[in-house]
Structure 1
Amino acid sequence: MGFPDRVPNELWGEILGNVNEHDRPTFQKISLSCPAFLPVSRPFLFSAIRLTPYRIGNDGDLLLPPPAEVDRHLKRLEFWCSSKIAPLVRSCLIHPLDSYTGRDVSKWSSSTDTPNILLDSLFQRLDHFTGLQRLHASRIHFTQARVDMLSHLPKLFELHLSGCAVAPGEHIETSPHVLRIPNFSLCHDSKSDPADNYWFPLLQPDQLRVLRSDFALGRTTDTISSFPNVQTLEAIMHRQTPSQYSRALSNFPAVRILKLWGKGLHTDAVVPDAVAIFPVLEEYYGPHEALPLFLAATTLRRVQTKCARSEDLVTRIQGKHGRNIISFNVELKTLNVTIFNKIVEHLPQLTELLITCGVSNLDSMFTRVVYDARKVPKDAVVDGRFGDEVRMGFKPSTFFLKLADVPFLPPALERLAISWDCYNQESCFELSAYMVPDFSQMRDALVARCPGLNWLWLNGIYFRFEWRDSMPDGTVKEFTAKNFMDAYVQWGEIFYGWEVL
């Protein structure tokens, strides 16, 4: 008995589950390496099918490859629909051929008779994929028959549609609640019309758990039914009034995670009571203008937002609300000790505070210029770049030197990250003088005030301090042009799991 035979197939399945699902060459090699691996690797090898049914021409015509290639695709589809392979398929991706793929498309041409021959062939056999769980379709036309086929897929739990439309001359019957799909995403293109949306009435309200839509909910209220079990909602908020969004969002009373994009609310509008909208909201990601809508929810624990003017952010979080938030992630254009004080005073229960201050011009980080390098303090660092002037008064240094002495810090604070990011560091050719704070002393002072503090990340463009309770001394690193981008990538990795706004 060989080694593969002594290990249960279930264990091999767990091991192969760590391989990237799109890495077909690896699964092919595994399946050919040993007879015992064939039944184990086959479910992974045939778990996903991808179809390119046509290419969209510049004038919108559907272009097909030469007839020989169409025949080859049809034969390949027959193989995938066979009784031994079809039940293994778990996901299906349908999208037109992109012009930048590098494939030779010179022989692709329009077909007035059968432009949808490949797409029709797939949908006619789609019910063979009895284990299909995820279907992603991009820029395809739907007919009544294709919509009906979706309703006959017993295992389908995720449907993602991007830039899809109704086929010319077709009409989709909005038969209520025919799609029992827990996870639904809808993205439109510039030619889509939210008023003609027919997907929401097709969804089974009790089944839906996750809804993503880039249609502004405030403009599609009439087409949205009540979805009492949606827990994750992603949508557009584009200059609507609170009353418009209150009507739309009230259709989702069970939302726990809310993600909004767009330009937010009218800033001069009156904000209603958030508790009536989302009584169990736990996480909010979106524009700062909408924060007053949701801060009153006593269940809200986690917030991520961005704001061009720090004063606007403070205005929206001040007051009695927000006292239960434990994690706050914000991107600002300016940051000083006064703004920091107001943020932590209004959010006293924080255990995690992550602040990014993005600047486009490094000159804005200095307050004055001297012409004589001998006037630079002895404990300052000069970056050594070419120039006759020396810029001083580096704002991140000033901030970090005062950080440990701010009037208030959340006593339960465990994670603190403050980072200045300069998107054009090489724009200035003058010498820069900056102070590197005594981060070890600062860490000790912060831990004394916040005993639970176990992680610090303080990035001042020219220097960075990182400390965890597992590395008691911490590390201080001065940045140069060479390692600036490395540090920027590391900062992005810190926020893995947070949404990109």
Structure 2
Amino acid sequence: MHFLQHLPHFIGLERLDASEIRLTQSVITTLCGLPALRELCLYMPSALARSEGRPFPNVHRLELLDGFPFPTTHDIVAFCNKFPNLRALASSAGYGGLLRDLTRAEESSIFPVLQEYTGTLRNLHIFARRSTLTHITLVDGFLFSRLVAELQGVAALPNITFLSLALITSESSWFDGAQIETLFTLFPNLTELQLTFMPTEPDPQILTWQINGSLDALLSLLPSTLRSISLKLDLSDYHDTRDPDLEDDFSLLFDYPHFPSLRAELMAKCPALTYILFDGYHFLFLWWKTSTSSVWEATADYYADARGPSGAT
């Protein structure tokens, strides 16, 4: 509280983490007037939605931590309208169905110049068509079909250059060639791609076949504009819980890709490529071309065995 009392004197404050602070009306009014405040982190934004304070015209990045949900649609729209110049939003909360039935005018009023969206799939429909939006990071795992449904009616989003997805997969629903083609039809101008696969049936032999098929499809369909690619296999739900022998099974049965050949194919397909990461949970490959044109490469069969950078070439 002592800090909050002196808040008006912090005219050079650029970022405030208010995740453990209950904001009073006077504090909110002070925050609105801080000229240098660019980033704000909140835990209970519904205190702020009902305030009578002025907007936050200088805040460009907003992080919303899990906390009390907004009670009504009016509250969440009123809250969002307090940040007319927001460039980046990070939130793991979906806020129930409050953002599903907004009018077109209400949707367009929410963060009208947003450039980076980090949040749940269920809120993507509000921001996806924004001409200003360039970065999408979806924090929840989902089937690829849900992404297509969320973007129903969208032919392509050529303004999106960064995309990060976590896809739930199974033996019958893998990220195959048809889905990959759909992805790059929706996002034709990607420069950075991060894909995490979350299999529900982690059989090493089946995953070997599926991953090799996905890599073949990716190589033929990747946009030539790509500068960075990250592919991860998330088996954390199975590690040391469902099958204690799973780690040994993977080390013995999983057929790792031949990384040098794969890297060469990727670089031929995408000449601007500067970063490659394959994280198979029990193997790791990293290739990175730095801004000084030095090249770093590291491989490991286990995280504990990871070697340091092999040196510049």
Q: Please tell me the TM-score bracket, short chain as reference.
A: 0.7 to 0.9
Contact 2:227 2:272 in 1 (8 A): yes
Once the two structures are superposed, residues 322-361 of structure 1 have per-residue CA deviations (whole angstroms, 9 ceiling, x without a partner) of 32111112334436225444333311111000122356x8
Give the distance between the partners of 2:271 and 2:4, measured in 1 at CA: 58
Q: 1:227 to 1:467 in 2, by over 3 A?
A: closer
Give the distance between the partners of 1:284 and 1:259, measured in 2 at CA: 6
Q: 1:486 to 1:348 in 2, by over 3 A?
A: farther
Once the two structures are superposed, residues 185-206 of structure 1 have per-residue CA deviations (whole angstroms, 9 ceiling, x without a partner) of 32247xx6x7x65421333446
Task: Work out which structure has the larger RCO, using CA pairs closer than 8 Å and 6 or more positions apart in sequence.
Answer: 2
- Aligned partner letter, 1:269: R
Match of 2:202 in 1: 365
Contact 1:295 1:322 in 2 (8 A): yes
Q: 1:257 to 1:220 in 2, by over 3 A?
A: same
Q: Confirm whether residue 260 of structure 1 aligns to residue 91 of structure 2.
A: yes
Match of 1:399 in 2: 211
SS of the residue aligned with 2:261? helix
Match of 1:247 in 2: 78
Q: 1:197 to 1:365 in 2, by over 3 A?
A: farther
Q: 1:259 to 1:392 in 2, by over 3 A?
A: closer
Contact 2:140 2:166 in 1 (8 A): yes
Match of 2:49 in 1: 221
1:447 alignment partner, one of 260, 263, 267: 267
SS of the residue aligned with 1:440? helix
SS of the residue aligned with 2:264? helix
Once the two structures are superposed, residues 203-246 of structure 1 have per-residue CA deviations (whole angstroms, 9 ceiling, x without a partner) of 344624332221234x6422043222221222257477766433
RMSD: 3.6
Give the distance between the partners of 2:149 and 2:70, measured in 1 at CA: 19
Shift of 1:150: 4.1
Contact 1:239 1:266 in 2 (8 A): no
Q: 1:239 to 1:468 in 2, by over 3 A?
A: same
Give the distance between the partners of 1:347 and 1:356, measured in 2 at CA: 17
Match of 1:209 in 2: 38
Match of 1:187 in 2: 19
Q: Confirm whether residue 330 of structure 1 aligns to residue 162 of structure 2.
A: no
Paired residues, number:
283
Q: Give the TM-score of the pair, scaled to structure 1.
A: 0.48
Contact 1:351 1:415 in 2 (8 A): yes
1:17-416 matched pairs, under 5 angstroms: 141=1, 149-151=6-8, 153=9, 155-158=10-13, 182-188=14-20, 198-205=26-33, 207=35, 208-217=37-46, 220-223=48-51, 224-236=53-65, 238=69, 244-266=75-97, 269-270=100-101, 272=104, 275-310=108-143, 311-317=145-151, 319-320=154-155, 322-334=157-169, 336-337=175-176, 338-358=178-198, 364-366=201-203, 392-393=205-206, 395-406=207-218, 408-416=221-229
Q: 1:350 to 1:324 in 2, by over 3 A?
A: same
Give the distance between the partners of 1:147 and 1:468, measured in 2 at CA: 44
Q: 1:346 to 1:243 in 2, by over 3 A?
A: farther
Give the distance between the partners of 1:220 and 1:343, measured in 2 at CA: 38
Give the distance between the partners of 1:269 and 1:340, measured in 2 at CA: 27
Contact 1:287 1:306 in 2 (8 A): yes
Give the unaligned 5+ runs of structure 2. none
Give the distance between the partners of 1:396 and 1:241, measured in 2 at CA: 47
Identity over aligned pairs, percent: 22
SS of the residue aligned with 2:18? strand
Contact 1:301 1:324 in 2 (8 A): yes
SS of the residue aligned with 1:203? helix
Contact 2:4 2:27 in 1 (8 A): no
- Aligned partner letter, 2:187: L
Give the distance between the partners of 1:330 and 1:475, measured in 2 at CA: 24
Give the distance between the partners of 2:99 and 2:50, measured in 1 at CA: 25
Give the distance between the partners of 2:32 and 2:295, measured in 1 at CA: 54
Shift of 1:474: 6.0
